[in-house]
Structure formats: C-alpha cells, structure tokens
C-alpha cells in the first residue's frame, strides 16, 4: 500500500513536468495547427543554456533562468519567421517533417557545442526531500512540480486576462475572424512559438535537474505526445490533466509490469497508452472533435 | 516540324517507356549497371548495395506517404519486422534465404496492416503519431522479446546460396540487390498507373471525396500499408542478410526519419524521386565518412565534428527542400529534361 501511494505521488510530480511540456505543444498547436516535433530539442537546448550560464558564467540561478527564457522567446520567434512561415498552407506532411528536420539540426548543433557527454545539473534547489506523511517526494521532483505549476498558472492568467492572450485565443478560434478584427495573426503565430518554446525550456531545466542533461534528453519530448493526445491536442486543461494521468500510469506500469517483462516498460508504456487512446477516442478527453464536410 | 512530345491517346500517356529516347537511355543505363560490378571496388559496391536497399525501402514508403498520403513515422519498424522475420526463419527453421524473403515481406505486410488499422479512424497528424508510437513499440519488442530476437546480442545470418554458389561478398550480393531493385521499381511503376494506383492518389487528394466516388477506403488504405510494409520487409531482409548480423540497433527512429527524408528530398509521389532520394541520402553519410577520414589524416582530433554533421545535414536537407523545392530532386530532374527536350526552341 505504501509503495503504491509513493508511486502515485512520484507520478503526480513527474506528471506536472509532462503537463508543462505538453502545454508547450498545445500553445503552438492551438494557434498555428502545427505539431512541433522539435519540442524535445527546445527542451534540451534550454537545459544546456541554463547549465552553461550557471557553470561557465557563474551566474545566480534567477539570472540564468531569465537568460534562458529570453533566449527561448527569441528562438521561438526566429524559427517561426524563418522556417514555419513559408510553409503556411502546405500539406501536413511538410509541416511535420520540417519540425523533425529542425529538431535534427538543433540536436546536431548541440552535439557540436556541448559534446554528447552526460552532465549533472548543479544543485539549485535545497536537496531535502519533502515528507508528506504517507509518502516522500524527492527534492528535484518537488521543485520541478512547483516550477511547472507556477509556470502553468502564469500562462493560464496571460491567456485568460491579457490583451495578447485574448488575441491568441481569438486566433485559435477562427483565424479569418481574428484577422478581420484587426488582430495580427502573424504576430500571434510568432508569439505562440515563443510561448511554446518558453514552456518547453522551463520543462527542460526541470527535467535536467532531475535526471541530468545530455543531448539525448529530448526523447522525453516524444513521450509527452501521449499526454497531448490523451488531453486533446488543442486543450490547455487537457494537457495539464493528461500530464498527471500519464505520469501516474507510467510509474504504475513501471511498478507492476517491469518484474513480468523485465525492465524498460516505463519508457514504452506511454506509447501503448497513446495507441489505445487513438483507437478509442482520437480527439482526446477535451479536444475538439473535427467534423469534416466535403 | 514537331516541336514537342504529343500524346494522342490515353494509352500513350500511360506508357512507362514514353519514347525511343527513354528506351535507349534506359538500356544504356541498364548495361552500365550490369558491367558496374566489374569496374568498381569493394567499397563502392558496398555503397551500391546500400543504395539498392534504400531504394526498395524508399519506394515502399513513397507508395504509402507520397501516393496515398498516409504519413508513416514507423517505416524503420516495418523494415525491422521483415529483417527479423527473415533472420529467424533462416536460423531457427532452416528456411533457405530465397524462401524466407517472401515470408519476411508477408509478415511485415501483416504488421503494416495492423498498424494501418488506426488510419481508418484517424488521419494526418494523429496517424503520424500512431505510427510513431508503433516505431517505439516495435523497437521495444525487438530488444525485449529475447527468446525470439536474442535481444541486443543479435543473430548471425548465413549468406544466401544457390546450390554451391554462395553470395557472400559485396560483388556477389550486388546481383541479388540489382534483381530486387529492378523488380521493385518495375512493380511500383506499374502499380501507380493501375486502378489501385489511381485509387491511392484519389485518397491522398481528398479521402472523403474518394469514398464518395466509390473507392473503398478500408481496402485501399490497408492495401497501401500492406504493400509499403512488404517493400520495407524485403528491404530489411536483404539488408541484414547482406550485413550478416541483425541487432535492434539497426532500426532506430532516425532510420524512419531518414526514409522520410529520402522521399521528401527525392520527391513525394514519384517513383523516380524515391530512387534519387535514396541515392542522395545514402551517399551523404558515406561522403561525410570520407571527409572525416581526410580530416583525420591532416588534422587529427578535429574529425569528431563530423559525427553530428550527419544529423545536421539530414535536417538541413529536409528543411531546405521543403521550403525551396517541395517537389524534390525529381522536379529538378524534370526541369533539366524539359529544358533540353525542346532546346534550343523551348517556347
């Protein structure tokens, strides 16, 4: 019983981080209908930039963090302008493949700059784990969870109340209507990419803190796909809830199936879940069901 | 004076060998392919074999993604299924290579149909994610179903033979590869001008409209998956038999991307494009290897920069082709051909 509770709590904490990365996917998808498969590389890049600022420049954490966010904002903007904008209106395979190509380029460049060796993040959070009576939360996961939740709340507030947020929601709802109301749809596209990049680099820093960073960290980004499929590709709430569900399910399969199959199930569990969701309810829990008309 | 190539009926329009020039150049090219192994060295023949496997695989993927419009991020998984099927049939059940090959194709086609089933409900982005999941699930199976696949230690495969004739060197294997490439290209080229090929294109262009004009989506989508995976299975079986060893590392996600890159760089929805793309994408890593050897010779220690170069160049070629030449190398080829066809009176 104790171990079950412990696993659920760990899963919840990991799920918060998944939710944050999923949020990055959803922010971009909602406004621009592009599924950014380079998300994992954005994440890794963020972790590396923060890591370098902390160790090479000896910057305090808040400065390194701010620098990373600024760079992510800039990166999202540039990528949208240079790579995605020429593809507006192209078939879906082009858009998907270009994000994959982008991911490969980023990965290669990171490999050149930082080499493939594995690094551990400097301790930026107090290492004491939190004991909540029936379970113990490791420090990395706890702080990751706090970071993720804070970031999510800030994003939600921006979306709900700020002018930009309203413009973004309007664009997601109906691009033509938004355009005729004087909203700069192109500006919103660029901004969505920036926000998506920011969400993913925060996720990257948090994950880098928990499991250490290497060029191959980006694979987590693909695992998060099951989160957004479960929650619905265009639902922010779904991304957050989906993150928790997948986090818990993944840890549970690790607990119960690993002894039977012999290890590694945790890595692949989310893909099994993904296929099952696609078969039963392809548009996810809260996603908009697309009805096609000829 | 005729100043163009006019077709007066549909039959002529659908001909594979459209003019006497095409026949002439193709015959010449085929003769070149036949004498090629006698003039090339081991390394070039090795690369030629690799190109051959890539061509078979890329045509398979192009039939599915380029012609039918079903994006597959799991092509490496189907290549892996065919490869493992052939390896296991040969080593466990003592099948001769020639018999294992069609079985490998069929087993892979079966796997393809299973993965293709979601395509009836979901499409576009969602299908792409489903095939991505399939890729990782199959990778997991290759590693963990140790009683069958022997896990990461891999399986050794004996070379194929006819009677006392053994196909173990690059030069001997070249004939097998050439035979299957010609067969594969010929079949695909015929398929796309048949009823089925036209149905595929109709599904790609608008699946609902295709269904309304009487195309059975269930049948044709699954056929596309089956044929594509059959090609992949054959490519995989040939590949690992050529390498003489099979491990799960042979079929990573990056291989799927590499195949997609081939058909994008070559040209979606073009058999010729798949061939160009396969050649291009196979030669680039070899060229990088060569460059890295050179750099190692003249500036030791600096060659490490070439390890990630492969991914950067794959990524760059995908991005640049999609932005500047979405129809790929096949379109560039067509433009060059058209320029010379009517030259100097190209108006």
Distance CA B14, CA B187 (A): 15
Note the Cα A132 to chain centre separation in Å. 27
Q: Which of A107, A271, A294 is the best substitution to test chain B (most B C-beta atoms within 10 A)?
A: A271
CB pairs under 8 A between A and B: 133
CB contact under 8 A, A97 and B261: yes
Q: Which of B67, B126, B152 is the best substitution to test chain A (most A C-beta atoms within 10 A)?
A: B126
Length of chain B counted residue by residue: 347
Distance CA B49, CA B59 (A): 16
Residue A216 touches partner B, C-beta closer than 8 Å: no
| Cβ atoms A220, A207 nearer than 8 A | yes
Distance CA A32, CA A24 (A): 12
CB contact under 8 A, B312 and A94: no
**Using a CB-CB distance cutoff of 8 angstroms, which residues of chain B are in contact with residue A94?**
264, 322, 326
Which region, left, alpha or beta, applies to residue B85 given φ > 0 means left and ψ of -120 to 50 means alpha? alpha
Indicate if the pLDDT at residue A260 is higher than 80. no
Residue A38 touches partner B, C-beta closer than 8 Å: no
pLDDT value of residue A89: 78
pLDDT value of residue B255: 92
Residue B205 touches partner A, C-beta closer than 8 Å: no
Which region, left, alpha or beta, applies to residue A249 given φ > 0 means left and ψ of -120 to 50 means alpha? alpha
| Cβ atoms A233, A35 nearer than 8 A | yes
Please choose, from the candidates A57, A36, A18, A69, the residue with its C-alpha nearest in 3D space to the C-alpha of residue A243.
Answer: A18
Residue B264 touches partner A, C-beta closer than 8 Å: yes
Q: Tell me: the pLDDT tens digits for A178-225?
A: 889 988 888 899 999 999 999 999 988 888 888 888 888 888 888 888
Extents of the domains making up chain B: 40-341
CB contact under 8 A, B308 and A87: no
Residue A149 touches partner B, C-beta closer than 8 Å: no
**Using a CB-CB distance cutoff of 8 angstroms, which residues of chain A are in contact with residue B124?**
92
List, in sequence order, every residue forming a beta bridge with B161; answer none if it has no partner.
B166
- Report the half-sphere exposure of A152 (CA within 13 A, side-chain side): 25
Question: What residues of chain A, 83 to 102, have a C-beta less than 8 Å from chain B?
Answer: 83, 86-87, 90-94, 96-98, 100-102
Question: What value does the CA radius of gyration of chain B take, rounded to a whole number of Å?
Answer: 21
Q: What is the mean pLDDT of residues A128-156?
A: 79
pLDDT value of residue B50: 93
**Most confident listed range (A87-96, A132-141, A255-264, B199-208):** B199-208
Q: Tell me: the pLDDT tens digits for A62-114?
A: 888 999 999 999 999 999 998 888 888 788 888 888 999 999 999 989 988 88
Indicate if the pLDDT at residue A240 is higher than 90. no
The C-alpha of B338 sits at a distance from chain A's nearest C-alpha, in angstroms, of 26
Please choose, from the candidates B85, B76, B33, the residue with its C-alpha nearest in 3D space to the C-alpha of residue B57.
Answer: B76
**Using a CB-CB distance cutoff of 8 angstroms, which residues of chain A are in contact with residue B273?**
none
**Using a CB-CB distance cutoff of 8 angstroms, which residues of chain A are in contact with residue B118?**
275, 278-279, 282
**Using a CB-CB distance cutoff of 8 angstroms, which residues of chain B are in contact with residue A267?**
136, 140
**Using a CB-CB distance cutoff of 8 angstroms, which residues of chain B are in contact with residue A108?**
308-312, 315
Beta strands in B130-169 (DSSP E): 155-156, 161-162, 165-166
Q: Which of A45, A101, A112, A274 is the best substitution to test chain B (most B C-beta atoms within 10 A)?
A: A101
CB contact under 8 A, B125 and A104: no
Structure tokens at A4: 């079950």
Please choose, from the candidates B248, B268, B137, B297, the residue with its C-alpha nearest in 3D space to the C-alpha of residue B201.
Answer: B268
Helix boundaries (H) for A83-213:
92-114, 139-161, 163-173, 175-180, 185-211
Burial grade of B149 (CB within 10 A; 0-12, 13-18, 19 or more): buried
Structure tokens at B312: 């950067």
pLDDT value of residue B289: 85
| Partner residue opposite B140 with nearest CB, options A106, A107, A264 | A264
CATH for the B40-341 domain, from 1.20.990, 1.10.287, 1.10.3470, 3.30.310: 1.10.3470
pLDDT value of residue A1: 55
The C-alpha of A13 sits at a distance from chain B's nearest C-alpha, in angstroms, of 24
Please give the backbone phi and psi of residue A219, each rounded to the nearest 5 degrees, phi first. Answer: -60, -25
**Using a CB-CB distance cutoff of 8 angstroms, which residues of chain A are in contact with residue B310?**
108
Residue B322 touches partner A, C-beta closer than 8 Å: yes
| Partner residue opposite B319 with nearest CB, options A83, A90, A96 | A83
**Using a CB-CB distance cutoff of 8 angstroms, which residues of chain B are in contact with residue A106?**
315
Percent of chain A scoring above 90 in pLDDT: 15
User: How crowded is residue A126: how many other Cβ atoms within 10 Å of its Cβ?
Assistant: 10
| Cβ atoms B97, B242 nearer than 8 A | no
Work out the angle at residue B229's Cα, subtended by the Cα atoms of residues B227 and B231, and round it to the nearest 5 degrees.
70
Q: Per-residue pLDDT tens, chain B, 347 aa: give them.
A: 556 667 778 877 777 777 777 788 889 999 999 888 888 888 899 999 999 999 999 999 999 999 998 889 999 999 999 999 999 999 988 888 889 999 999 999 999 998 888 777 777 788 888 899 999 999 988 988 888 888 788 888 888 888 778 888 888 889 999 999 999 999 999 999 899 999 999 999 888 889 899 999 889 999 999 999 999 999 999 999 999 899 988 899 989 999 999 999 999 989 999 999 999 999 998 888 888 888 888 877 766 777 788 888 889 999 999 999 888 999 999 888 888 777 776 66
pLDDT value of residue A221: 82
Please give the backbone phi and psi of residue B18, each rounded to the nearest 5 degrees, phi first. Answer: -75, -30
Residue B120 touches partner A, C-beta closer than 8 Å: no
List, in sequence order, every residue forming a beta bridge with B162; answer none if it has no partner.
B165
**Using a CB-CB distance cutoff of 8 angstroms, which residues of chain A are in contact with residue B69?**
91, 93
| Partner residue opposite A93 with nearest CB, options B71, B122, B132 | B71
pTM for the whole structure: 0.90
The C-alpha of A2 sits at a distance from chain B's nearest C-alpha, in angstroms, of 30
| Cβ atoms B132, B139 nearer than 8 A | no
| Cβ atoms B328, B317 nearer than 8 A | no
């Amino acid at each position: 019983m104790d171990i079950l509770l412990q696993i659920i709590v760990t899963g919840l904490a990991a799920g918060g981080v998944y939710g944050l990365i999923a949020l990055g996917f959803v922010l971009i998808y909602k406004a621009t209908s592009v599924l950014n498969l380079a998300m994992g590389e954005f994440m890794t890049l963020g972790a590396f930039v923060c890591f370098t600022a902390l160790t090479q420049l000896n910057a305090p954490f808040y400065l390194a963090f701010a620098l990373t966010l600024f760079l992510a904002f800039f990166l999202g903007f540039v990528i949208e302008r240079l790579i995605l904008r020429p593809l507006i209106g192209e078939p879906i395979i082009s858009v998907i493949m270009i994000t994959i190509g982008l991911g490969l380029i980023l990965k290669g460049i990171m490999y050149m700059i930082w080499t493939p060796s594995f690094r551990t993040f400097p301790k930026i959070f107090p290492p004491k784990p939190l004991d909540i009576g029936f379970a113990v939360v490791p420090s990395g996961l706890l702080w990751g969870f706090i970071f993720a939740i804070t970031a999510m709340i800030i994003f939600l507030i921006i979306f709900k109340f700020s002018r930009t947020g309203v413009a973004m929601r309007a664009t997601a709802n109906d691009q033509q209507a938004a355009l005729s109301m004087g909203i700069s749809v192109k500006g919103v596209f660029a901004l969505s990419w920036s926000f998506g990049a920011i969400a993913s680099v925060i996720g990257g820093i948090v994950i880098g803190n928990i499991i250490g960073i290497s060029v191959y960290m980006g694979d987590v980004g693909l695992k998060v796909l099951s989160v957004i499929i479960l929650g619905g590709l265009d639902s922010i709430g779904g991304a957050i809830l989906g993150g928790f569900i997948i986090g818990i399910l993944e840890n549970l399969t690790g607990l119960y199936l690993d002894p039977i199959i012999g290890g590694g199930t945790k890595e692949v569990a989310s893909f099994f879940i993904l296929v099952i969701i696609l078969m039963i309810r392809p548009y996810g829990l809260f996603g908009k069901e697309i009805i096609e008309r000829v | 004076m005729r100043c163009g190539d006019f077709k007066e009926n549909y039959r002529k329009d659908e001909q594979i060998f459209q003019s006497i020039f095409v026949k002439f150049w193709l015959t010449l090219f085929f003769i070149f392919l036949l004498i090629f192994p006698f003039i090339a060295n081991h390394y070039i023949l090795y690369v030629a074999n690799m190109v051959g496997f890539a061509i078979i695989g890329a045509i398979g993927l192009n039939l599915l993604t380029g012609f039918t419009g079903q994006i597959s991020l799991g092509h490496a998984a189907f290549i892996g299924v065919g490869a493992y099927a052939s390896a296991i049939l040969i080593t466990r059940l003592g099948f001769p290579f020639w018999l294992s090959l069609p079985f490998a194709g069929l087993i892979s086609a079966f796997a393809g149909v299973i993965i293709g089933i979601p395509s009836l409900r979901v499409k576009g982005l969602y299908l792409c994610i489903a095939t991505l999941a399939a890729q990782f699930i199959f990778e997991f199976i290759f590693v963990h179903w140790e009683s069958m696949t022997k896990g990461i230690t891999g399986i050794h495969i004996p070379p194929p033979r006819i009677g006392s004739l053994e196909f173990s060197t690059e030069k001997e294997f070249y004939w097998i590869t050439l035979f299957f490439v010609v067969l594969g290209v010929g079949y695909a080229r015929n398929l796309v001008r048949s009823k089925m090929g036209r149905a595929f294109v109709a599904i790609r262009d608008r699946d609902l409209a295709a269904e309304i004009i009487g195309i059975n989506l269930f049948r044709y989508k699954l056929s596309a998956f089956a044929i594509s995976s059959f090609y992949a299975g054959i490519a995989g079986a040939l590949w690992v038999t050529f390498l003489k060893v099979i491990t799960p590392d042979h079929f990573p996600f990056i291989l799927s991307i590499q195949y997609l890159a081939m058909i994008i760089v070559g040209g979606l929805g073009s058999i010729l494009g798949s061939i160009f793309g396969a050649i291009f994408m196979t030669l680039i890593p070899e060229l990088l290897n060569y460059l890295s050897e050179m750099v190692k010779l003249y500036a030791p220690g600096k060659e490490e920069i070439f390890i990630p170069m492969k991914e950067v160049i794959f990524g760059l070629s995908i991005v640049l082709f999609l932005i500047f030449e979405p129809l790929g190398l096949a379109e560039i080829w067509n433009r060059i051909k058209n320029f010379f066809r009517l030259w100097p009176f190209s108006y």
